[in-house]
Amino acid sequence: MTVLTDELIPQDQWDQLLADSCHSSPFQTREFYNLCNSVPGFRAKAVAVCNRESILALAVVIVQHEPGIKSFLSRRGIVYGGPVVIEGTEEALDMLLAEICKLLKSSVIYLESRNFTDYSNYDRLFIKNQWSFVPYLNLTIDIEDRTFAEILSGMNYNRRRQINVSLERGALYRECKSEIELKAVYDILADFYRDKLKLPLPGMKFFEALWLNNPGKVFVVLHEERVIGGSFCLVLPGRSIYTMYYCGLRDYDRKIYPTHLAVCAAIDYAVTSGLKVFDFMGAGLKDEEYGVRTYKQEFGSQMNEFGRYLRVTNRFLYFVGKTGLKLLRLGR
């Protein structure tokens, strides 16, 4: 077996791997790799293990850091969705995990695989390569062979009522049609991250690239022609849709719930496009309170413990960074 990186990975073999593997996600496509390498503040590294005829295992690692003074202590490499691997090719995954660490250990403080599918069959390989399992939860909605009405009926009563009332009041959702609409959704999201969550958010360029390129999909929520919310998603055709970000104006109208409709837009798209799974992308640590988890569950989602795998490459800086960033956030 051989290792190939970045542009040396054959496109046809990459596409075939995604078609064949049960671990595929849009975060592991060439398109998302290209998108991240086209946006300031992002960098992606693609690594593949191949035999003579095909790719057996592949990972797109997104190298990120927070802006300003925090950048040095927040350098990480994230494999969103987990590596793509063909079942029964343990040796290839073993080789892939070792190669990822070899290539990136000097440039990141830690590596993390944020799994969207079940990797328990490969647990021993991650442990062998010094990746530890972290019990993060995930929430998904089964879409296959269901109508939107059927999914709506499976939601919490209050959530279903709030969605229906919002639509009755004239609010609607659809795909984003212009840069003006895109900017309006981004501004709502940016305000929420700055004022409420107090967390960093990628710049507008990332969301523009997401809107303009596959596998991105952007939805807007409108009322009386005003943008009041929206969602930024990634799609793997024929498979799944992932809600990276969703938002809505707070206190806009007590009978309109724009954030609910931003989620509904992605669910409705999944139904009409014949997708199989709607993925909320995370529900926090298993044994910790996480308010957003309750919100997501009220859409009729099911909980999975796919977890994450963590590989710390610099323990001192990891500890200092984790402590320092927590103090900075508390200070805000």
Q: Where are the domains of the chain?
A: 2-136+306-331, 139-303
Structure confidence at residue 147 (pLDDT)? 97
Structure confidence at residue 41 (pLDDT)? 80
Structure confidence at residue 330 (pLDDT)? 54
Q: Which CATH architecture has domain 2-136+306-331?
A: 3-Layer(aba) Sandwich (3.40)
Question: Which residue is associated with the tokens 């849009």?
Answer: 26
Top CATH class of 139-303 equals alpha beta
One fold for both 2-136+306-331 and 139-303? Answer: yes
Structure confidence at residue 248 (pLDDT)? 97
Q: What is the pLDDT along the chain (332 residues), one digit of tens a residue?
A: 899 999 999 999 999 999 999 999 999 999 999 999 998 888 999 999 999 889 999 999 999 877 776 777 778 999 999 999 998 889 999 999 999 999 999 999 999 999 999 999 999 999 999 999 999 999 999 999 999 999 999 999 999 999 999 999 999 999 999 999 999 999 999 999 998 888 889 999 999 999 999 899 999 999 999 999 999 999 999 999 999 999 999 989 999 999 999 999 999 999 999 999 999 998 999 888 888 999 999 999 999 999 999 999 998 888 887 776 565 555 54
| Integer Cα distance of 329 and 234 in angstroms | 28
Structure confidence at residue 88 (pLDDT)? 86
With beta carbons less than 8 A apart as the criterion, state whether 246 and 231 touch: yes
With beta carbons less than 8 A apart as the criterion, state whether 300 and 180 touch: no
Count of beta carbons in the 10 Å neighbourhood of residue 287:
7
**Judging by beta carbons within 10 Å of its beta carbon (0-12, 13-18, 19+), is residue 238 exposed, middle or buried?**
exposed
Structure confidence at residue 175 (pLDDT)? 98
Structure confidence at residue 289 (pLDDT)? 85
| Sign of the torsion angle spanned by Cα atoms 200, 205, 209, 211 | positive
